[in-house]
Amino acid sequence: MLKQTGRLALAAAVGFGLMTGAGAAKAETPKSGGILNFVVGSNIPSFDGHQETTFGMIHPIRPFYSLLIRVNPQNPSDPTDFECDLCEGAVPTPTNDGKTYTFKLRKGVKFHDGTPLTSADIKATMDKIIFPPEGVPSARKAFFRAVTSVDTPDDHTVVFNLKFPTASFIPALATPFNFVYAKKDLDEHGYEWHKSNVNGTGPFTFVQSQPGAFVEGKKYAGYHFEGRPYLDGFKAIAAPKMAVRLQAIRGDRAAIEFRGFPPKARDDLVKALGDKITVQESDWNCVLLATPNQQRESMADKRVRQALTLGVDRWGGSKYLSQIAIVKTVGGVMFPSHPLAATKEELVKLKGYGEDIEAARAEAKKLLADAGQSDLKVDFSNRGVDQPYKVVGTWLVDQWRKIGVDTAQRVQPSGPFYDTLRKKKDFDVSADFNCQSVINPIADMTKFLGSAGNNYANFEDPKLEAIYAKIEQEGDAAKLRELVREYETRALSEEASGIITLWWYKINPYRSYVKGWKIAPSHYLAQHLDQIWLDK
């Protein structure tokens, strides 16, 4: 069976043009016209990019909006390649010792309702994201901790003033959730209006949304990138069940799903449709964690946490689990393909990352015995989503059984699961994740800080906070790398306050007539659709 799967994967790679990461598509002349139907494995919580964090919003709503800068859609795998969207020319380099960024805006850009875009709109948008009034949610406010103010010297110039120079500012600005709103809309309608209304400067204008069914958009004739978008419109069809999404692509009711499928689904589609299916694959800026709740007596003992991380066979999981789940890459706190990420030589020094799993399990059993927890029972809270949560969860239960830990998996739908994780906190260990969009490693690694809003391990570690404070302001690349290793060792090995399982792996099989889309290391990126065209 495995051999068959391997052959299918090989066939996909050789016969049907599998591209990995920044793999190059043949240069073809784009054709205009057509409607792109795609499936989305989630419903839309609201249309407001500033407060939402899910692909369920990004995939159908992002095409209506523009950003100040964006990841280059022709090279989305490169974590340093950004281009101007609403700004003009190249992405600016900082002045004032790295503390000032000045952006010149494109002229003649209009919102879909005809309102001209000015720097006041950028300021109003960024103020809402960075300095939201009390009670106004802003999911990525922490990304901009260095920003002190946003100024508008004239109608087409925006200046960001920073407290200290930081490499994380530009990636944070390119985050695809930073939709540019019209100041007029915010002033007239307030901060709630964008949750259910759309007025952007993006390549498509809003046509309609049928909750739980679909969102429809049509080409915006006044779009600021000349000649684009190529599509006449799009229809984002909600289909939470994976089997439905697969069948939609198989039956050509939809051309693509932008999040990702497990390897088996890819193989089935390739087997059924041959060269009518193209596959792109990439490392994914998402990592699945097991978070020990340090409010629980057993998990407050770091020997127990270390035992749990030692008991996980990451290298074996990477080999086998990757065949049935959307996880694959062994990594530390940082996106594995990033230059600052740990090499294998560095990783194997961490607890639980050694290649001798039997030795690791023996050490884990000893630690549990020393902690008086040889008969440890763990209540493992998991999310009721197959990929990758339940699959990896079942694997983890088996991994921990091998060090004598009796784990009961408690699976709940997303709502109650998050309630358990964030409010009730009545779990020993919980499945958890860190999924980010633009690869911004310095910002992304805040997940492991006890003070982070999205850390649910319920602990304080001043030493880890101090290391991060140094990382934030370190300008020297070599020193930065050392500090990141120190941070990683502290979080994953010495304290084991976070237990990384595996990083996700993105596989997108889609109809071959969809052109111009290049896989990114995040399912949030390059979803504006202005680069996509149909070769039908």
Residues lying near other proteins in the complex (CB under 8 A) are found at 1-2, 4, 242-243, 262, 264-265, 267-268, 316, 319-321, 323-324, 384, 386, 390-391, 393-395, 397-398, 401, 408-413, 416
Q: Cα–Cα distance between 307 and 493 in angstroms, integer? A: 10
Q: How far is the CB of 454 from other proteins (least distance, A)?
A: 24
CB of 359 to other proteins, least distance (A): 20
Which residues sit opposite 161 in a β-bridge?
Answer: 100, 149
CB of 361 to other proteins, least distance (A): 14
Closest to other proteins by CB, 395 or 459 = 395
CA 38 – CA 41 distance, rounded (Å): 10
The owner of tokens 């607890």 is 351
Q: Whole-angstrom Cα distance, residue 302 to residue 497?
A: 8
Nearer to other proteins, 348 or 397 (CB): 397
* Tokens 């065949």 found at: 323
The DSSP code for 503 is: E
How does DSSP assign 8-73, residue by residue?
A: HHHHHHHHTT-EETTPPPPP-------EEEEEESS--S-S-TTT---HHHHHHHGGG---SEEE-T
By beta-carbon proximity to other proteins, the closer residue of 140 and 245 is 245
Quote the least distance from Cβ 321 to other proteins, whole Å.
8
- Smallest distance from other proteins to CB 409, Å: 5
Minimum separation from the CB atom of position 411 to other proteins (A): 5
In the complex, least distance from residue 394 CB atom to other proteins, rounded to whole angstroms: 4
DSSP 207-221: EEEETTTEEEEEE-T
Q: What contacts 433, CB < 8 A, 6 or more positions away?
A: 286, 287, 288, 289
Tell me whether residue 128 or residue 259 sits nearer to other proteins (CB atom): 259
Cβ closest to other proteins, residue 296 vs residue 383: 383
Buried b (16+ CB within 10 A) or exposed e, 118-139: bbebbbbbbebbbeeeeeeebb
Which residue, 176 or 262, has its beta carbon nearer to other proteins?
262
Sheet with 214-219, strands from edge to edge, namely: 204-210, 214-219, 233-238, 35-40, 256-257
| Nearest to other proteins of 222, 413 (CB atom) | 413
Cα dihedral sign, 30-35-38-42: positive
